[in-house]
């Protein structure tokens, strides 16, 4: 992106664009980035974050995190909070894949035990966790169960022996967001979703076996709080979302939001920012349906965890409890939630949209589960399959500055089509194997599209948010096995 004189540096890694930049801006835009990340950010981010700043009822700032890149309406890596009475709700501020998110599970296995069996483990998980075009899950829920499942999320799983007793408290919102209403979800969405529980999907979704990477970063004191006690401890990370259910919810409501705006006299700078008043019946209907989709995704990741625990148990001949395969945490990174925040000296409810952004609540917050109350909410930021990921914690500064929000991943720098021209999937798979990462992919095209060079440097993204004080690094995690749809 060429230098833009409107962007002012306000701190080491924070930049602002004033409301005078564009007619209609209600608030400034704030970006978190090093100079290098900012210089390499696509110019679409600036256009989009300043368009978001024009939306009715937005408060404080329109944010773009360090991994920001162009999206539909909102940039990916975008955060915006709205007054619940005067503000809007926008499907573009959530994303098609509602509650696409990350789940991290620990084990008490160490790298030397896992390394010789990584192929066996990955191959087995690949067989147990369906991934790719049109896959279906192995559990046969009925459509009549979908109301309860999408209302109660992981709590429903625990009540039906599909989760461990302590799983729900290690998931954002205790495993379900309140406010779901299945009557606001179309039959098409229910039909698409009912057979997809426990499936990984494709695109940038993955399931990764990882090992703690002290050479890159490890805060041993903080890591202990998560049950990470060895420098070569093996973890599992899952990245996926609400599958066809969430996508259909978004499609259904986007269709109507565009035409609905006229009746409320709302105009937006970009049709992908279609929005309605949060307090309107239509806005509330979308919210209720979106919450169903968010809870669907929590359940989807829970079913996958069960399959992963099964696979580890079979390969290492110990049950998953003996392997200490407890959840560290599960975070959403595409969602809109009603949260209570303090800004301008007042404590108030706002609707926070996080699109490709992660909640990052600090120590002591009532929504941070008891085991982590002292240290802050776990934050899981996923990198590309070649570069690895990070575990971090939320901070008080995030509460003060960004409505408790941080980045979610690396952010793409190259389109899928361009990536496939640069890289051959089979060759990439071989190179990764040479580097100690065994990858099993449903398609070689899909693998090539997810090559590391198509993404920003995850370490720089994470470092930026750490330097900004928004999320604090705990441990870097290096991939040793990966499953892709």
The window from 26-34, 78-86, 130-138, 152-160 that contacts other proteins (CB under 8 A) reads 130-138
Burial class (CB in 10 A: 0-12, 13-18, 19+), 310: middle
Contact call for residue 47 and other proteins (CB under 8 A): no
Among 446, 452, 479, 481, binds other proteins (CB under 8 A): 446
Among 70, 82, 197, 253, binds other proteins (CB under 8 A): 70
Task: Find the length of the chain.
Answer: 485
Nearer to other proteins (CB atom), residue 356 or residue 481: 356
Question: Which position has the token pair 């969602």?
Answer: 335
The window from 80-88, 112-120, 189-197, 469-477 that contacts other proteins (CB under 8 A) reads 189-197
Among 251, 313, 348, 396, binds other proteins (CB under 8 A): 251
Could you tell me the end-to-end alpha-carbon distance of the chain, in angstroms, rounded to an integer? 32
The window from 13-21, 58-66, 148-156, 437-445 that contacts other proteins (CB under 8 A) reads 437-445
Nearest to 333 by CA among 353, 358, 351: 358
Binding mask 329-368 for other proteins (x = CB under 8 A): ----------------------------------------
The minimum distance between CB 41 and other proteins, in angstroms, equals 12
Nearer to other proteins (CB atom), residue 333 or residue 473: 333
Residue 176: both structure tokens together: 């379900």
Q: Which residues pair with 29 in a beta bridge?
A: 17, 62
Nearest to 297 by CA among 133, 180, 390, 210: 180
Nearer to other proteins (CB atom), residue 251 or residue 279: 251
Among 96, 141, 156, 206, binds other proteins (CB under 8 A): 96
Among 32, 63, 72, 206, binds other proteins (CB under 8 A): 72
Q: Would you give the DSSP letter of residue 412?
A: B
Residue 16: both structure tokens together: 């602002």
Q: How are beta strands 378-381 and 101-110 bridged, if at all?
A: unpaired
Nearer to other proteins (CB atom), residue 78 or residue 201: 201
The Cα 47–Cα 22 span in angstroms is 10
Residue 383: both structure tokens together: 């990198």
Distances (CA, A) of 189 to 97, 145, 420: 12, 14, 31
417 phi/psi in degrees, rounded to 5: -65, -45
Q: Which residues pair with 88 in a beta bridge?
A: 277
Contact call for residue 244 and other proteins (CB under 8 A): yes
The window from 165-173, 277-285, 360-368, 444-452 that contacts other proteins (CB under 8 A) reads 444-452
* Residue 326, number of CB atoms within 10 A of its CB: 19
Among 201, 260, 394, 479, binds other proteins (CB under 8 A): 201
Nearest to 20 by CA among 3, 33, 6, 2: 6
The window from 137-145, 198-206, 230-238, 276-284 that contacts other proteins (CB under 8 A) reads 198-206
Binding mask 287-316 for other proteins (x = CB under 8 A): ------------------------------
Among 255, 314, 374, 430, binds other proteins (CB under 8 A): 255
Among 40, 169, 313, 413, binds other proteins (CB under 8 A): 413
Contact call for residue 109 and other proteins (CB under 8 A): no
Nearer to other proteins (CB atom), residue 253 or residue 361: 253
Taken in order 61, 380, 43, 7, the sign of the CA dihedral is positive
The window from 7-15, 127-135, 139-147, 468-476 that contacts other proteins (CB under 8 A) reads 127-135
CA atoms within 13 A on the CB side of 483: 27
Show the 3-state SS of 259-312. Answer: HHHHHCCCCCCCHHHCCEECCCHHHHHHHHHHHHHHHHHHHHHHHHHHHHHHHH
Among 23, 112, 134, 366, binds other proteins (CB under 8 A): 134
408 flagged as catalytic: yes
The Cα 44–Cα 77 span in angstroms is 12
Give the footprint of other proteins on this chain (CB under 8 A). Answer: 42, 69-72, 76, 96-97, 132-134, 136, 188, 191-192, 195-196, 201-204, 243-244, 247-248, 250-251, 254-255, 258-259, 271-272, 274, 412-418, 421, 442-443, 445-446, 449, 485
Question: Known catalytic residues?
Answer: 408
């Amino acid at each position: 992106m060429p230098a833009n004189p409107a962007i002012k540096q306000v701190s080491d890694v924070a930049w602002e664009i004033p409301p005078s930049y564009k007619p209609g801006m209600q608030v400034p835009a704030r970006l978190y980035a090093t100079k290098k990340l900012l210089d390499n950010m696509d110019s679409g981010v600036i256009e989009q974050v300043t368009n978001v700043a024009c939306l009715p009822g937005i408060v404080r700032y329109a944010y773009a995190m360090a991994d920001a890149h162009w999206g539909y309406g909102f940039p990916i890596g975008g955060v915006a909070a709205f007054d619940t009475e005067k503000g809007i709700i926008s499907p573009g501020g959530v994303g098609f894949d509602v509650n696409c998110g990350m789940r991290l599970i620990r084990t008490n296995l160490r790298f030397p035990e896992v390394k010789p069996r990584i192929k066996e483990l990955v191959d087995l998980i690949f067989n147990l966790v369906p991934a790719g075009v049109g896959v279906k899950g192995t559990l046969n829920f009925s459509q009549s169960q979908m109301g309860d499942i999408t209302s109660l999320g992981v709590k429903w799983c625990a009540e039906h022996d599909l989760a461990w007793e302590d799983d729900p408290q290690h998931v954002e919102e205790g495993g379900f967001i309140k406010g779901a209403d299945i009557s606001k979800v179309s039959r098409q969405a229910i039909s698409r979703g009912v057979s997809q529980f426990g499936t990984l999907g494709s695109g940038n979704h993955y399931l990764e076996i990882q090992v703690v990477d002290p050479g890159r970063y490890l805060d041993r004191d903080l890591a202990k709080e998560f049950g990470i006690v060895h420098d070569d401890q093996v973890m599992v990370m899952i990245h996926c979302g609400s599958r066809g259910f969430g996508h259909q919810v978004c499609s259904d409501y986007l269709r109507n939001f565009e035409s609905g705006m006229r009746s409320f006299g709302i105009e937006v700078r970009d049709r992908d920012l279609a929005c309605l008043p949060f307090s309107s019946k239509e806005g509330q209907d979308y919210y209720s349906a979106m919450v169903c989709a968010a809870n669907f995704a929590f359940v989807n990741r829970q079913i996958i965890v069960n399959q992963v625990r099964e696979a580890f148990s079979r390969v290492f001949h110990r049950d998953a409890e003996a392997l200490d395969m407890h959840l560290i945490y599960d975070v959403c990174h595409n969602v809109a939630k009603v949260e209570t925040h303090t800004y301008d000296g007042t404590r108030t409810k706002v609707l926070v949209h996080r699109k490709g952004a992660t909640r990052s609540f600090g120590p002591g917050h009532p929504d941070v589960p008891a085991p982590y109350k002292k240290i802050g909410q776990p934050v899981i930021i996923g990198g590309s399959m070649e570069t690895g990921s990070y575990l971090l914690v939320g901070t008080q500064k995030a509460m003060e500055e960004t409505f408790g929000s941080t980045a979610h991943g690396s952010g793409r720098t190259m389109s899928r089509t361009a990536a496939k021209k640069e890289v051959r999937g089979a060759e990439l798979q071989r190179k990764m194997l040479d580097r100690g990462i065994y990858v099993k992919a449903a398609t070689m095209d899909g693998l090539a599209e997810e090559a590391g060079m198509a993404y920003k440097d995850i370490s720089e993204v994470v470092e930026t948010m750490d330097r900004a004080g928004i999320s604090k690094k705990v441990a870097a995690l290096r991939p040793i096995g990966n499953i892709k749809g």
